[in-house]
Amino acid sequence: MTQAQPTKISLAPLPYFWPKDRVLAFYQEVAKSDVDVVYLGETVCSKRRELRLDDWFEIAGHLVEHGKEVVLSTLALIEAESELHSLKQLCTRAAEDGYLVEANDMAAVKYLSDLNAFFVIGPAMNIYNADSLAVLAESGAIRWLPQLEMAGDQVAAIVADYKASQLKTIETEIMAYGHMTLAYSARCYTARHYDYPKDQCKFICLEHPQGIKAKSQDGLEIFTLNGIQTQSGKCLNLLNQWQDLVAKGATHLRIVPEHDQVLEIVADLKQAMEAGENQVLPLKEQHCNGYWNRIAGMAVV
C-alpha cells in the first residue's frame, strides 16, 4: 500500500501590483517560510511589468535552492498578440528549465501540450466535472484547482469519480484563504475609478496594494477592484475547515499572498496541521465561506 502524501501548503501568485523591491523582499521571506509550493508570475495585467520574465525565473531559482517547488503562472485573460507571444515564451522557458506551469487560459494548455509539458489547471479554467478534468489530464494536467463557486461535496464527487475512471492520478489544490477573483473584464476598473483610459492608466494600481474596496450604498463591502479583476469584497477563510478540505480530496491548500502577514497564517496552518487541530484563524466579520457549503459565496456558515 502506498503511503498518502502529507498535504502541502501552496502560495498563489501575487494578485496585486507591488513595487519590485517589495516583491523581492516578500519572496526572501517566503524562502524561509513553511510554504511547500510557490506560484510565481503576473496573472492579472500584461501592463504590470515591475518584474520581467528573467526576474521571475531568478526568484524561482532562489526558492528552489530553499527546497520549494515552484510553478510559473500565466495571465488569465489573453487578448493581444503580444500577450500570446509572452505566454509562449513563458511556457517554453519553463518547460526547458523543468518548471511546472499553471495554465490560466486554454491558450496555455495549447502551448504546453504542444511542448509535452505537464501543467496545473488554474482557478479560472472552469472544471465542473470529472470528464472535463480527464480531457485536460489527457493534455498534460497533473494538478487542478476546482472552480471557486463549487461546493465541497461537489469537489469530493469529482475527485472520487476521476479516481474511479482514470488510470492516472491527479492532485487537487483548494483555495483556503484570500479574496476570490470572481470576474475578468477587458475593462480596468482601477483606471476607470480614476477616469483614466486603460491605455493611459499611469500604473495607478501601484497605489492600491490590496485593491480598492467597493461598498454597497448601505456600507457592505461587496467587491474588491483589482485592475481587470473584480474580486470578492469578503476574504475566503476555509482555514479552520482544513481537515474537511483534505477529506474531500485536497492534496494542496492554497493561500493568497495579499498582505505581508500571510506567512504568519501559513505558519499557523502548518502548526495546526501537525498538531491535528482545526483552529487556525478565527472567522472574522469580513470573512466568508459560503461556496464551500453550497450557498452564496459571500455567506458565512
Q: Which three cell numbers, joined as nine digits, stand for 278?
A: 482545526
Single-letter amino acid code for the residue at 129: N
Q: Report the residue number, 37 or 87, with the smaller CB distance to another protein.
A: 87
Q: Report the residue number, 73 or 232, with the smaller CB distance to another protein.
A: 232
**Torsion of the alpha carbons at 142, 81, 94 and 121, rounded to the nearest 10:** -20
The binding site for [4Fe-4S] cluster consists of: 45, 188, 201, 205
DSSP E strands in 216-260: the ranges are 221-226, 229-237, 252-255
Residues 216-275 that bind another protein (CB under 8 A): 216-218, 220, 222-223, 225, 230, 232
- Tally Cβ neighbours within 10 Å of residue 131: 12
Alpha carbon distance 162, 143 (integer Å)? 12
Among 38, 45, 51, 87, binds another protein (CB under 8 A): 87
Piece in contact with another protein (CB under 8 A), picked from 4-12, 14-22, 141-149, 242-250: 141-149
* Residue 76 and residue 43 in contact, taking contact as beta carbons nearer than 8 Å: yes
Among 81, 98, 167, 285, binds another protein (CB under 8 A): 81
The closest alpha carbon to 39, from 74, 3, 83, belongs to 74
Rule CB under 8 A: say whether 284 interacts with another protein.
no
Residue 181 C-beta-side C-alpha neighbours within 13 Å: 25
Q: Report the residue number, 131 or 277, with the smaller CB distance to another protein.
A: 131
Rule CB under 8 A: say whether 31 interacts with another protein.
no
Q: Report the residue number, 78 or 269, with the smaller CB distance to another protein.
A: 78
Classified as helix, coil or strand, 133 is: helix
Rule CB under 8 A: say whether 132 interacts with another protein.
yes
Q: Report the residue number, 22 or 192, with the smaller CB distance to another protein.
A: 192
* Residue 27 and residue 263 in contact, taking contact as beta carbons nearer than 8 Å: no
Binding site for another protein (CB under 8 A): 76-81, 83-84, 87-88, 105-107, 109-111, 113, 124, 126-132, 135-136, 139, 147-149, 154, 157-158, 161, 180, 182-187, 189, 192-193, 197-199, 212-218, 220, 222-223, 225, 230, 232, 290-291, 294-299
